[in-house]
Structure 1
Amino acid sequence: MEQWPPKSDDRLLIELGAALRDSGPVREEFLDAALAAFSWRTVDAELAVAELTFDSACDREPVGLTRSVGTDRTLTFRSGPVVVEIEVTATGVVGQLSPASQGRVSARTAAGQYEDVPVDELGFFSMGVPPVGPVQLRASTAKYTVRTCWVSLR
């Protein structure tokens, strides 16, 4: 086995040239490592978790809150200046993002994403009936991206 790195620059250039000409296919573990490293580019957004600050199933109604008829449950999540408010009814989930901005809201369970809906310019969105078990919402606009903590909606 030859010494690495080679002592002469000429030998090093020959080795590097051979490596570039005949690299062969990239091994799967290197591709996985590259994709994992690439996913870290959004780590700040992934760490912005909106914590549950109000749940009508547990908390008393705040003074002055007007609740719509037929609402089974109201939840409020907050991460800094970003607020995600949702109402869960028998027919689905409606919500609003504040500050209002167009974007998308997706919902997922431990099994993966189950819904992805648009958010209008006033920050409103609606989804179907959530599945049983813990759910996490992800709101993404041009101004911010935030995830809620995991919570059971039904």
Structure 2
Amino acid sequence: MVPWPPADDFALLAELGEALRDREPPPREFLAAAYAAFSWRTVDAELAVAELTFDSVCDREPAGLTRSAGSARTLAFRGGQLAVEIEVTESGIVGQLSPAAGGRVVARTADGPYEEAPVDDLGLFSLGPPPSGPIQLHARAGRHEVATSWVSLR
């Protein structure tokens, strides 16, 4: 193996040529690093983070529109012009975006998206039960877009 970094351009070209001729698949950790680097393409959208403003597990009074009693858990997020309110039950997640507008919500774990749902004109959406571990919702309604902070729902 040639010492890294190569001493000159010709050594570098030889090393790259050898890598291109290699028929073995890349190691799993290389693929994981490549996918992680690729995810940075959306970093600008993720800079608009909706922070958790209410969690029924910790807080006494709701901070936003959701006011139902007896649900397993209620959370409210606010980021810029968009508020995201969700109710988590055993059967799944129901939520509302405010201001209300049609759009899309993508739920994801650290491994990537696991579910996507439409948002109707009233800002309402519904998702299945969340997986264990932290999740993040990426919401788009009208011309507003935000990603919630990461939160564990189970």
TM-score (norm 2): 0.69
Q: What's the counterpart of residue 141 of structure 1? A: 141
Deviation larger for 58-67 or 81-90: 58-67
Tell me the matched-pair count: 119
Deviation, 1:46, is 2.1
Q: How does 1:105-124 map to 2 (within 5 A)?
A: 105-124=105-124
Q: What's the counterpart of residue 47 of structure 2? A: 47
Larger Rg: 1
Separation in structure 2 between the aligned mates of residue 141 and residue 108 of structure 1, nearest angstrom = 18
SS of the equivalent of 1:94 reads: strand
Letter paired with 2:97: L
Deviation, 1:43, is 4.5
Deviation, 1:85, is 0.2
SS of the equivalent of 2:45 reads: helix
Deviation, 1:124, is 0.1
Deviation, 1:142, is 3.1
Deviations for 1:106-125, whole angstroms, at most 9, x for unmatched residues? 10001111100000000000
SS of the equivalent of 2:131 reads: coil
Q: What's the counterpart of residue 58 of structure 1? A: 58
Separation in structure 2 between the aligned mates of residue 62 and residue 91 of structure 1, nearest angstrom = 22
Deviations for 1:48-98, whole angstroms, at most 9, x for unmatched residues? 000000000011124997743541000000012210000001110000000
Letter paired with 2:142: A
Separation in structure 2 between the aligned mates of residue 118 and residue 153 of structure 1, nearest angstrom = 21
Separation in structure 1 between the aligned mates of residue 117 and residue 124 of structure 2, nearest angstrom = 10
Q: Given the superposition, is the C-alpha separation of residues 58 and 46 from structure 1 closer, same or farther in structure 2, using an over 3 Å criterion?
A: same
Q: What's the counterpart of residue 103 of structure 1? A: 103
Separation in structure 1 between the aligned mates of residue 70 and residue 114 of structure 2, nearest angstrom = 25
Q: What's the counterpart of residue 128 of structure 1? A: 128
Letter paired with 1:136: Q
> Would the aligned equivalents of 2:50 and 2:78 in 1 still touch at CA under 8 Å?
yes
> Would the aligned equivalents of 2:107 and 2:116 in 1 still touch at CA under 8 Å?
yes
Could you tell me the percent identity over the aligned residues? 66
> Would the aligned equivalents of 1:139 and 1:146 in 2 still touch at CA under 8 Å?
yes
Deviation, 1:144, is 1.1
Q: What's the counterpart of residue 90 of structure 2? A: 90
> Would the aligned equivalents of 1:95 and 1:126 in 2 still touch at CA under 8 Å?
yes
Q: Given the superposition, is the C-alpha separation of residues 58 and 111 from structure 1 closer, same or farther in structure 2, using an over 3 Å criterion?
A: same
